[in-house]
Structure 1
């Protein structure tokens, strides 16, 4: 994921409304969102190279999503560095949410730069964990700490939570307006279909080439080689229902032409009720 905007209101009828764009090289093999055959309680896409995922949920109401931390000045990542997508799949285990989060805190420095959103939604828990500081330094010296997400509207791109990059601010504001206008599903998905690039003077400084920085400043990146590969809408309702729409993007496809959607709706099961019983 390269851009996530979301409303977190734990006491509302719909505590979580989240929109996300996954940006990646199209040549990297991946499967769209599906129920995993080897872990039937997990609903997520799958990175066929690294084995993990960029966003997913499970039937108990666990949620996790990941963005990379962009720092063009950082040294090359060693080839034996574990895939960051494994952090998401680890948070979708059926063990203790708090224990899993603590384990990731302890090992966060072993990964390339990342931001992790992780939640136990029925318990009203949502956390952000990053292993880089505002200057891009890693967390080897002091273990990163997961921070509870405060109620409100938030955004996460390839910097720290709520870093005001232009695309984050504009899409977070668009989400706010869509929620206030009780927008339907398609209108919510369209929030993430903005392909406009930021003005030169508004671009962040992340150490990558200026031309590349400008291309990455769009919320929706339409390019044949690297770009937005899917848009996801996820909602968790207080009645225990999760509904998800994922729209898959073809290489170079314009945002207005994206129409290939997969939809999922399922109840969160309570403790003591097995998924096989549903």
Structure 2
């Protein structure tokens, strides 16, 4: 399922810091982050099944991230792809608040989701399980497959590690180390999302690795106060082998 962390206007040198794991079925085809030929200012991976994305940024500074909300007791509609929520924000020029107001109107067409959109200076969160558009204030946030900052064990632990790390002269590798944490949540703290205990346990770590499902992409984004962007991604190429790429540019 996914785990995202954000430090928004929390560090004196960075307007925005993002860490994220994309967990997905291993046989679901996707392409690693790249500048899209059809939208050359958009840097994102692409889900080759539905055409959407899970994490992206544009040269103009538009940001978008999505996770599923996990509750298998809820009905599924699947009319529209949740990955299209991020893609459509990134390729359009609609202001973030207006975009989310439009999403809110169509919220029932999507399976449960969490969506973060905005810029390094104006960031919003919306879930169709909460139906409230939240303007985010400076701080450190964690998101998995419940509402923003729900205190799941792995989210709380990752936030604490990130806060401690940001007080030091941290490295990019140390940020990736947070995303590589395989510690499983104690049974008494596991969420109850409609899965068996065994599956809840298997999905409860930050880094997930099950036989046919697991962490497929890891992303770190750093945006300095002057607008310099560093984008790092590790993508799984099978059997514990990873391909790493990086992109550097200035916001326009």
Q: 2:28 maps to which residue?
A: 28
Q: 8 Å contact 1:227–1:252 — kept in the other structure?
A: no
Q: State yes or no: 1:264 paired with 2:237.
A: no
Measure the CA separation in 2 of the matches of 1:2 and 1:214: 14
- The TM-score normalised by the length of structure 1 is 0.86
Measure the CA separation in 2 of the matches of 1:55 and 1:89: 9
Q: 8 Å contact 1:119–1:127 — kept in the other structure?
A: yes
Q: 1:114 maps to which residue?
A: 113
Q: State the 1:196 CA deviation.
A: 1.4
The list of structure 1 runs, each at least 4 consecutive aligned residues, that deviate by more than 4 angstroms after superposition, is: none
Q: 8 Å contact 1:90–1:100 — kept in the other structure?
A: no
Which protein is bigger by CA-based radius of gyration?
Answer: 1
2:124 aligns to what SS in structure 1?
strand
Q: State the 1:173 CA deviation.
A: 0.8
List per-residue Cα deviations over 1:10-49 (Å, max 9, x = no partner): 7843111110000000111100000001111110000011
Measure the CA separation in 1 of the matches of 2:242 and 2:105: 41
Which residue of 169, 172, 175 maps to 1:185? 172
Q: 1:130 maps to which residue?
A: 127
Q: 2:183 maps to which residue?
A: 196
Structure 2: unaligned runs, 5 residues or longer: none
Q: 2:85 maps to which residue?
A: 87
Measure the CA separation in 2 of the matches of 1:74 and 1:250: 33
Q: State the 1:252 CA deviation.
A: 5.1
- The TM-score normalised by the length of structure 2 is 0.95
Greater mean deviation of Cα atoms: 101-110 or 112-121:
101-110
Larger strand percent:
2
1:92 aligns to what SS in structure 2?
helix
Measure the CA separation in 1 of the matches of 2:238 and 2:136: 34
Aligned residues: 251
Q: How does 1:134-149 map to 2 (within 5 A)?
A: 144-149=131-136
Q: 1:140 maps to which residue?
A: none
Q: 8 Å contact 2:17–2:220 — kept in the other structure?
A: yes
Q: 8 Å contact 1:225–1:252 — kept in the other structure?
A: no
Measure the CA separation in 2 of the matches of 1:260 and 1:179: 26
1:246 aligns to what SS in structure 2?
strand
